Chains A and B, each alone.
Chain A
Amino acid sequence: MTSMGSRKRIWIARDYLKCSGCRKCEIACSLYHEKRIWPEASRVRVFMLVPGAEVPHLCVQCEDYPCVKSCTTGALSVNSRTGAVLVDEEKCIACGACIDACPGRVPHLHPIKKTVLICDLCSGKPECVKVCQEGNWDALQKITRSSWQIYKVHARKPEEITRELVSNLYGEAGEEFV
């Protein structure tokens, strides 16, 4: 990793309260990576555990990359330019160690290929962000990564995020339905 590269690194900021649940990010992601519309093969997936509390769930690129550390076959690496976690499909044995290591349980297996799926930031031009911006949703935004942010705190399970969103949206009334 060069210091030059680090400064230019991007990050996908997420604002769940602005997510409409249109799932265009899933559509764009799977079209780009799979040439199909394929919700469960998308690297970003919108969970809806409670209606109205839609959670676009994708890799946050933790500073300490617990997923990469957990990989026993050397299938995961960090792209020095973007900071994205890259998956070497040849080396991945779909053991699930990275899923368990991720504090947000973000990685998931490809439904058919025996390999794990992690957001690769589309080499620095994320398709999910483009499509979200086209609609002026701003739920996903491309920003410059800053040293003042602890990215790891964003890696949380969908149910944790849902619980908080529901309290925010519906107050006590909603908490009954989480």
Chain B
Amino acid sequence: MRGYAGKFLDIDLTNEKMTEIRFDESTLRSYIGGRGLAARILWDRLGERWENVDPFAPENVLTILTGPLTGFFPGGRVCVSGKSPQSNGMVGSTVGGEFGIDLRCAGYDGIIITGRASRPSCIAIYENQVSIKVASHIWGKTGKHTLKILTEEGRRDLKANFPEYGELKEPSALYIGPAGENQTRVAAVMAKWTHGAGYGGYGGVMGSKNLKAVLAKGLGPLPEVKDIERLSELIKKADKECYKSHSFRRWGTGGGGYQFAAKTSSEPVRNWQDEWHDERSYAVDKFEQRLWVKRYWADYGCPTSCLKIAAPKTGEFKGAITDNPDYELQAFLGPNLGIFKPEDDVYLASLIDDLGLCGIQSGNALGFIGELYQRKILNQEDLDGIQLEWGNTKAFAEIAKKIAKREGIGNILAEGSYRASLELEKRKGMSLDNYAIHEKGMAIGAHGIRSGRDFTSDISYACNVQAGDHTSLASTPKEDENPELDDVLNDSGVYCNFNTFSVGTDLIWEFFEAVTGWETLRQEWYKTNGLRILQLQRAMLLLGGPDLKWKANTDDKNPKRFYDPLPSGPYKGRAVKKPSFEESKQEYYEAVGWDKNGLPKIETLGALGLHDVEVKLRKAQII
């Protein structure tokens, strides 16, 4: 088999048992890796009792998987998954960096983690030496301090384990901050200070396993491929395309903070009460010229370098360090909180990184509480004495710290905006449904659908098996293109989807062929394999539980607010229209083999060899 290291680590933290396992060629060919393979693994291990599995219980399975293109296609990533404490389904959540490369160089394509360690722990994978180490001294530490200690100790271990080699490069690390340790539902699995696998909430799952970090260091090469000459040419070709993209290279997604509001009117402003602003103060040049200390920052093999590093050197937020911030954090920790000052956004993003929070999920929870305060549904007393006016950066920072610590009001918000709204409804005796902007328990990306001018549509989130994830959206396939399965492919081959914008689908499939040698993979993917992954994810999402369950069709809806007209801007008055939304939804259901109620058809499951899924869904009385 080409393109795979071949081995996976199966680690039971409860019993400190580590085994090497393999998947046969047909499994890997069908599910590829990353998100696809995670769907298979999770279904096999938890499917039978899915609805009863508490995502924070030891029995949840946390997967950290690469794919055959990790390290080969520009932009290295790794895919984290498990039963999600947000959607209660499974989400493929990827994070950039060198971890996946190091893991593959150590001889492993992925790690499957179950159980719960008896004390704070860290998994260290140095070549084929795998150990579970005590991490009590790092528990409680914030992101930058955590990584400092991990790097220092990792290098010391490497020197001890491989003394003859001279200086080895540092090991790569995935870790959690306090938000993950305290099992909030809005915590990310972090890397490199500023990167996070945010969607899904797997930081909290790591925390529930008492797992502070995973370190990997490989000395070997990336796996052998089918045709290395051709692969080298393809890398050159892909790089060349990406190098043409001037504005993306220069500004990354940082151009979004102003553009998506002023031009496409699709940015969350004050908890999505509006999606338009024309604050020139928030344009990317202000970030670039005042704050960026590194203007081109890239992960492994990336020609684009959409990352930049911001670090204010003067003023009250001096000392904060983060990336761009990227558009999502510009939006969710900026206009979404009524903040239009680059320095303030950088400070909040740096704080969120350090706490190990997901900027989207926690930013959404902050916006939600901000609106409740604005509407006087909650007062200063409800917020532990904090006055939370829009634009009050320090007040929002205080709430963020409370979320990470699950302290006071933060303990409620740590559940994410939707679950928090359910709790506060009980306390206040009123419906708060309108203010929790979510899709099946997850905050959606900062790309609204009302204006119709962004890349999203009215079914993007509503029908998405990944719920609110804006990097993989539901969309009805057209004759010769299937953007949704292309997104699933990116998460399963495990590489950066941002580099696919310039590269295009044909070249990606050439990469797969040069790496794996599987010539008909492309046809198989669109006909059966990709679709099968989608059905598995849908089944797990509909099974849901134990705290919340979603009804097909009824819950395939947009946040209430999106049916209200946009209040201002060039697209003032636009809203999602229910009849056309219902029509698009039916079209989508039909295309992916679901019935009118959004339930996978028996013949769809049968044709994909998912008889066991049918049996389970029947047993759970879903179909």
Contact = CB atoms under 8 A, between A and B. Distances in A.
Contacts of B318: 171, 173
B164 A96 contact: yes
A13 B137 CA distance: 41
A120 B179 CA distance: 48
A21 B298 CA distance: 5
B101 interface: yes
B298 A169 contact: no
A36 B221 contact: yes
B321 interface: yes
A11 B102 CA distance: 30
Given A22-B305, A137-B296, A169-B293, A109 B165 contact: yes
Given A109-B164, A111-B219, A35 B294 contact: no
Interface of A: 17-18, 20-24, 27, 30-31, 34-41, 45-52, 57, 94, 96, 99, 105, 107-109, 111-112, 116, 134-137, 157-158, 169-174, 176-178
A22 B309 contact: no
B321 A39 contact: no
A111 B222 CA distance: 13
B166 A170 contact: no
B101 A49 contact: no
B585 to A, nearest CB: 41
B166 A177 contact: no
Nearest to A36: B221
B104 to A, nearest CB: 10
A85 to B, nearest CB: 14
B305 A20 contact: yes
B164 A94 contact: yes
30 contacts: A20-B302, A22-B300, A22-B301, A22-B305, A23-B98, A30-B221, A36-B221, A37-B221, A38-B220, A47-B167, A47-B169, A50-B151, A51-B147, A51-B193, A99-B166, A105-B167, A109-B166, A111-B165, A111-B219, A111-B220, A134-B240, A135-B239, A136-B243, A137-B296, A157-B167, A158-B167, A171-B313, A171-B319, A176-B144, A178-B148
B311 A170 contact: yes
A39 B169 contact: yes
B5 to A, nearest CB: 13
B219 A177 contact: no
Interface of B: 71-72, 98, 101-102, 105, 144-145, 147-148, 151, 155, 164-170, 192-194, 218-222, 224, 228, 232, 235-236, 239-240, 243, 293-294, 296-303, 305, 309, 311, 313, 318-321
Given A23-B301, A24-B301, A173 B164 contact: no
Nearest to B71: A37
Given A20-B297, A20-B305, A24-B301, A49 B170 contact: yes
A94 B72 CA distance: 30
Contact of A36 (B194, B222, B298): B222
A116 B165 CA distance: 9
A157 B155 CA distance: 14
Nearest to B320: A173
Contacts of B228: 31, 35-36
B148 A177 contact: yes
Given A21-B299, A23-B300, A27-B235, A40 B167 contact: no
Contact of A40 (B105, B148, B193, B194): B105
Given A22-B302, A46-B169, 13 more contacts: A18-B296, A27-B301, A34-B221, A36-B222, A36-B228, A38-B222, A49-B155, A49-B170, A50-B148, A52-B294, A116-B166, A134-B239, A158-B167
Contact of B321 (A24, A27, A170): A170
A150 to B, nearest CB: 23
Contacts of A37: 71-72, 221-222
Contacts of B170: 47-49
B427 to A, nearest CB: 40
Contacts of A176: 144
A169 B302 contact: no
A23 B218 CA distance: 16
Contact of A31 (B165, B220, B232, B305): B232
Nearest to A17: B294
Contacts of A30: 221
B246 to A, nearest CB: 10
Contacts of B71: 37
Contacts of B240: 134
A15 to B, nearest CB: 12
A178 B149 CA distance: 10
Nearest to B105: A39
Contacts of B320: 173
Contacts of B168: 40, 108
> Which residue, of A21, A47, A105, has the highest number of chain B Cβ atoms within 10 A?
A21
A22 B165 CA distance: 24
Nearest to A39: B105
> Which residue, of A18, A105, A111, has the highest number of chain B Cβ atoms within 10 A?
A111
A18 B218 CA distance: 27
